[in-house]
Structure 1
Amino acid sequence: MSTPSERRPTPEGTTVHEAVEDYLRYKIKADGSETTMRSPLESFADHCKDERGVGCVGELADQDIRSYSEHLYDRVMIDENLAASTANAYFAYVRAFLSWCVREQHLEQNPANTNTAMDPLPEDDGKRKTQYWSEDDRQQLEAYATKRVDMALEGTIRTDPKAALRDRAIVVMLGGTGARGAELFADPKDDKRPGLRWSDVDFEQRLIEVYGKSREYEEAPFPDSVHNVLERWYDYLEPPTDEWPVFPTGHYGSKEDALIKKLGEERVNAALKGGGDEGKTAVLDRLHREHEVPPPSISKEGVRRLLKRLTKEANIDPDGDYDYLTLHGARRALGRDLYANGMSEKAQEALRHKSIETTHEAYTDLQMKDVSNSIDEVRD
């Protein structure tokens, strides 16, 4: 433990980020704990600043910690990219950090030690809710999405052909690229995730550039099946600029807000009033194109609702913990198919895991199944 003379004096108004740095520097020793705790604590500090507007650590209250607990809950239950056990471990790191802040007189009491702060945490039952798209379910979903396009183009269903073509491209892209939902679709809480743009798509090299989990741009491949569907969608959409989203939203209010921000409310309202027989949605779409104002991308939540609807309409009853085909289930399935066929390194590359150990950990169940089969072969 550091002596008082080694510690820098506690300044008035220390930010959460500064307190985290002090905690990691003076309290946590280099036994691996700092590496383990740094990312979750920095993420907590980012949340306090960006989502709660907390200026210094002394301002933290139980509602701020509750907001962080709700964020962890969303990552487990909605984004499906965190285990409940990991979420609870992250909260424990934060609680320990805030206890240190009390001892350092940054805080009078620990705001994480309240039921209000802890209530939203996901229950850790020792199991991570997971899903893999089965091959049959993926093919059934893609077949239904294709049939829906045909019916929309024929006019036999009340679905806009543009929406049907976009939705099929979404389904095929999810099933064939291993990209995360946050890399393809807009995240309203993250300005750096506005959704995939056509400028991010390289048809010749058959790759897309995405803003990865590492918060750096990464290249993700896509196979012929994705290439063909995406190219047909591009030809139908005819985006006026490369900055057009690959998957534009169909939400009226979001498109209107984007136009107002660029053209001004008076101009947009005048166009809507003077549209005559042209529908209001058509007026907005025309304005976006005429003025080359890209509409917003569909959001992750919008795609989640779409998948729920398509799963039901296609009469798919998925295995696992969810009653619909989830965003992350497509990514897991692609990795599983590669991993199960002895291509663990290809699975790592497709999923863009930083290390092969991460890939092995993700598919522990397949490893155990392989071990079981090997035992059967030896003992037969």
Structure 2
Amino acid sequence: MRPPLEDFAEYCVSQGIDAVDELTDDDLRDYGLELRTEYIDNEIAGSTANTYFRYIRAFLSFCVRDGKLDTNPADTEAAEEFLPEDTPTRDTQFWTPEQRKQLIAYADERISMAREETISVSLERAYRDRTIVVLLAELGLRGAECFRDPNDNHRDGLTWGDVDLEHGRLEVFGKSRKYETVGLTEAAHGALARLERIQEPPISEWPLFPTGHTASKYQAVEDATGDRPATGTDIDAVCREKQVAPPSITKEAGRQILKQLTHEAGIELEGDADYLQPHGARRALGAELYKKGHSELAQSALRHSSIETTHEAYSDIKAEDVAESIDEVRE
């Protein structure tokens, strides 16, 4: 129970809740929505979300018995309102090595087409989209760690201030709701270095993946300066001149980019998914490391709080390994 209870405690601290007797069923409903978001992002199954919530409800029941609470705020219909359906299994997508290579190869080709102006995509955007693919595939980042979440004020998307190319590392606001350090692989380092040369960010707050939504840029300038630029202004130039960072793309926009690239690359998919989802890259990285016997490396790469979490995530691979070992012994 420890990892999900620690996650809940950290969530409470982030919301300014310092003691269990401050909790209400609204707080538990909001946390249920957090779990639902992880389910939507393919980070956990519906059954896992409900199991975690049951752990929290059991802990709060103990607090009632121990006299620290009058009633259990998790034991109400309102508290469970946003929990996903408690399904025992759910198809989980993995990017296959072939799919990963095909997607990166197309992202490379798209840069060439943008440079030759044979597609209506700017060179900067083509580099931006390629970097998204590479960071997901190479580092196993979560979509919520890369992109802006309109429902979470702490998740504004990655900025250049989070990147340290000299030391080869990246700071992300992790699932733990703390900043976590991620080492850059050679491919990830190269992708970021090229994006920086093309983008030339004027300030450290500049997002790695800025939005292309013009109205959002106008609003950012108005919020920062108090003046709204005239319609028809080169808003990108204004942002640079006044050193106003445009918003990062949202998680949904990130998914739409991957959907577009998947379809344009002609990648064949299995199951119900109609595109290569962000979390599929993360699970694929962990599965590749885990299957080769590097479970602790998988734990570190995915930044799991415990090795038990890693074993649980790849229990199917562990079962296959056990079966193969039995066959080998009997031979």
TM-score range, shorter chain: 0.7 to 0.9
Cα shift readout 1:117-140 (whole Å, capped 9, x = no counterpart): 656532222114421111011111
Displacement of 1:93: 5.5
Corresponding residue for residue 300 of structure 2? 349
Q: Given the alignment of the two structures, is residue 181 of structure 1 paired with residue 143 of structure 2, yes or no? A: yes
* 1:368/1:232 CA distance change after superposition, 3 Å: same
The one of 195, 203, 206 equivalent to 2:165 is: 203
Deviation of 1:166 after TM superposition, in Å, equals 0.4
Contact 1:138 1:175 (C-alpha < 8 Å) held by counterparts: yes
Which whole-Å CA distance do the structure 2 matches of 1:246 and 1:129 have between them?
A: 31
Q: For the residues of structure 2 that align with 1:38 and 1:224, how far apart are their CA atoms?
A: 33
| Aligned mates of 1:34, 1:355 — CA distance in 2 | 9
CA, structure 1 residues 48+125, in 2 after alignment: closer, same or farther (shift >3 Å)?
A: farther
Q: List per-residue Cα deviations over 1:197-238 (Å, max 9, x = no partner).
A: 212212222211222222222211121112222211111111
Question: Is the Cα–Cα contact under 8 Å of residues 14 and 177 in structure 2 kept in the other structure?
Answer: no
> What is the TM-score with the length of structure 1 in the denominator?
0.75
- Is the contact between residue 185 and residue 196 of structure 1 (CA under 8 Å) also seen in structure 2? yes
Q: 1:57 to 1:361 in 2, by over 3 A?
A: closer
My pick for the range that moved more, 212-221 or 39-48, is 39-48
In structure 1, the residue matched to 2:309 is: 358
Q: Which residue of 1 aligns with 2:94?
A: 132
- The 1:34–1:356 alpha-carbon spacing in structure 2 relative to 1, beyond 3 Å, is closer
Whether 1:40 and 2:2 are equivalent positions in the alignment is: no
Q: Which residue of 1 aligns with 2:208?
A: 246
Structure 1: unaligned runs, 5 residues or longer:
1-32, 50-55
**Alpha-carbon offset, residue 257 of structure 1:** 1.5
| Pairing of 1:72-151 with structure 2 (within 5 A) | 72-76=35-39, 78-92=40-54, 97=60, 113-114=76-77, 118=80, 120-151=82-113
Give me the whole-angstrom Cα distance separating, in 1, the residues matched to 2:70 and 2:110. Answer: 58
Aligned-residue offset at 1:287 = 0.7
Quote the offset at 1:293 in angstroms: 0.8
**Is the alpha carbon distance of 1:374 and 1:39 closer, same or farther for their aligned partners in structure 2, counting shifts above 3 Å?**
closer
Q: Distance in 2 between matches of 1:206 and 1:365?
A: 33
Please state how far the C-alpha of 1:376 moved relative to its aligned partner. 2.5
Q: Does 1:259 align with 2:227?
A: no
Question: Offset of 1:167 from its aligned partner?
Answer: 0.4
Q: Does 1:194 align with 2:159?
A: no
Q: Deviations over 1:270-324 (max 9, x none)?
A: xx34x5xxxx5xx110111001111111121210111122112222233355221
Instruction: Find the counterpart in structure 2 of residue 268 from structure 1.
Output: 228
**Deviation digits for residues 7-53 of structure 1, max 9, x if unmatched?**
xxxxxxxxxxxxxxxxxxxxxxxxxx78865643774797798xxxx
**C-alpha contact (below 8 Å) 1:258/1:295 kept by paired residues:** yes
Query: What percentage of aligned pairs have identical amino acids?
Result: 46
- The alpha-carbon distance between structure 1 residues 91 and 210, as it changes in their structure 2 partners (threshold 3 A), is closer
Amino acid at match of 1:242: S
Q: Contact between 1:41 and 1:94, CA under 8 Å: does it hold in 2?
A: no
Pairing of 1:191-340 with structure 2 (within 5 A)? 191-264=153-226, 267-269=227-229, 272-273=230-231, 275=232, 280=233, 283-340=234-291
Q: In terms of Rg, which structure is larger?
A: 1
Amino acid at match of 2:154: K
Residues 1:39 and 1:305: Cα distance change in structure 2 (over 3 Å): same
Partner of 1:379: 330
Q: Distance in 2 between matches of 1:223 and 1:111?
A: 42
Q: 1:117 to 1:147 in 2, by over 3 A?
A: same
How far the C-alpha of 1:258 sits from its partner, in A, is 1.0
Change (3 A) 1:356 1:150: same
**Which residue identity does 2:36 align to in structure 1?**
Y
CA contact (8 A) 1:65 1:112 kept: no
Structure 2 vs 1, CA of residues 205 and 45 (structure 1 numbering), >3 Å: closer, same or farther?
Answer: closer
Deviation at 1:377, TM superposition (A): 2.5
2:23 touches 2:73 (CA, 8 Å); kept in 1? no
C-alpha RMSD of matched pairs (Å) = 3.2
Mark the runs of 5 or more structure 2 residues left unpaired by the alignment: none
Q: Is the 8 A contact 1:187 1:299 kept in 2?
A: yes
Asked if structure 2 preserves the Cα contact closer than 8 Å seen for 1:248 and 1:298, the reply is yes
Q: Matched residues in 2 for 1:118 and 1:368: separation?
A: 33
Question: Cα distance, 1:109 vs. partner?
Answer: 11
